[in-house]
């Protein structure tokens, strides 16, 4: 009770300018969707928006995953799943914050309608993105998610979470998610929440002035994948998402790349639920 549900799905995504989610998901049998859940208690001390990558299956698209790399990609919705469960738990526990869950749901499928390398997608932020890797799709759906959140929901904090990069496991391993935050205070708050909850995190270098050059394009505002894979890939991917925040947004933003801790022994771990509850200091998690 008290939770509102909204969804923008299928061709409506295209019509309303959510070109990232629509582009990634338009080839699938089931249409893509942007789902927004809202919990708005009176007197809320803070507004927090949770934005999750919900790629329900990732073939890699036309840049297809090969050599067994596709197996296990049913877990590529781990970010959205974790944040959905965190939202539900926070509401049931009576968290005082105004909460929104923005779930970016699509299947990165192969077919005649699949988006292609060399396509240009116009995202909800207004930025045009040249596709140089259809298997770097999670950042495209999250770009639309954070743009929606920062433009329409007036949050104090945006947390996006995703099984975003294999490079995360090189950076921080299989037990610690990697985080990228636009303020020292939010970074420290997230690290502390990880230590309290057991959903561990470790910061990545935050340096958009160094890393955004990796996405330079001659025909669009940016490409969707880096030029140099040895140059802090996970930081770069987070900064790609950050670049789609509304230009008027002045609040906090933290990106959680949890590719490693999202699964163990071919089963999901539920990573992220406790992290968010600790971040919110929900009852029982303070």
- Mean pLDDT to the nearest integer, 60-73: 94
Q: Which residues are catalytic?
A: 65, 139
Per-residue pLDDT averaged across 249-274, rounded?
97
Report pLDDT for 1: 66
Say yes or no to pLDDT of 75 above 70.
yes
pLDDT, tens digit, 9 for 90 and up, residues 121-168: 999 999 999 999 999 999 999 999 999 999 999 999 999 999 999 999
Model pLDDT, residue 231: 96
Task: Report the 3 state secondary structure along the chain.
Answer: CCEEEEEEECHHHHHCCCHHHHHHHCCCCCCCEEEEEEECCCCCCCEEEEEEEEEEEECCCCCCCCCCCCCCHHHCCHHHHHHHHHHHHHHHHCCCCEEEEEEEEEEECCCCCCCCCCCEEECCCCCEEECCCCCCCHHHHHHHHHHHHHHHCCCCEEEEEECCCCHHHHHHCCCCEEEEECCHHHHHHHHHHHHHHCCCEEECCCCHHHHHHHHCCCCCCEECCCCCCCCCHHHHHHHHHHCCCCCCCCCEEEEEECCCCCEECCEECCCCHHHHHHHHCCCCCC
- pLDDT of 55 reads 98
């Amino acid at each position: 009770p008290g939770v509102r549900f909204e969804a923008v799905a299928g061709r409506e995504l295209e019509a309303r300018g959510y070109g990232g989610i629509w582009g990634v998901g338009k080839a699938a049998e089931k249409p893509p969707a942007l789902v927004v859940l809202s919990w708005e208690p009176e007197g809320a001390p803070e507004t927090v928006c949770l934005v999750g990558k919900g790629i329900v299956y990732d073939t890699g698209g036309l840049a297809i995953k090969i050599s067994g790399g596709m197996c296990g990609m049913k877990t590529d919705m781990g970010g959205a799943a974790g944040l959905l469960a965190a939202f539900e738990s926070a509401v049931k526990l009576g968290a005082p914050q105004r909460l929104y869950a923005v779930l970016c749901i699509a299947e990165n499928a192969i077919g005649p309608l699949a988006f292609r390398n060399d396509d240009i997608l116009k995202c909800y932020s207004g930025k045009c993105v040249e596709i140089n890797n259809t298997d770097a799709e999670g950042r495209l759906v999250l770009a639309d998610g954070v743009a929606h959140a920062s433009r329409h929901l007036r949050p104090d904090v945006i947390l996006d979470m995703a099984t975003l990069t294999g490079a995360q496991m090189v950076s921080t391993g299989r037990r610690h998610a990697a985080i990228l935050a636009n303020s020292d205070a939010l970074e420290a708050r997230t690290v502390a929440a990880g230590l309290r909850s057991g959903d561990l995190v470790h910061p990545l270098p935050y340096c958009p002035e160094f890393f955004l050059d990796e996405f330079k394009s001659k025909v669009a505002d940016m490409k969707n994948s880096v030029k140099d894979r040895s140059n802090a890939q996970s930081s770069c991917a987070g900064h790609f998402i950050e670049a789609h925040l509304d230009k008027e947004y002045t609040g906090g933003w933290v990106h959680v790349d949890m590719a490693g801790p999202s699964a163990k022994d071919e089963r999901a771990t539920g990573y992220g639920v406790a992290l968010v509850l600790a971040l919110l200091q929900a009852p029982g998690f303070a």
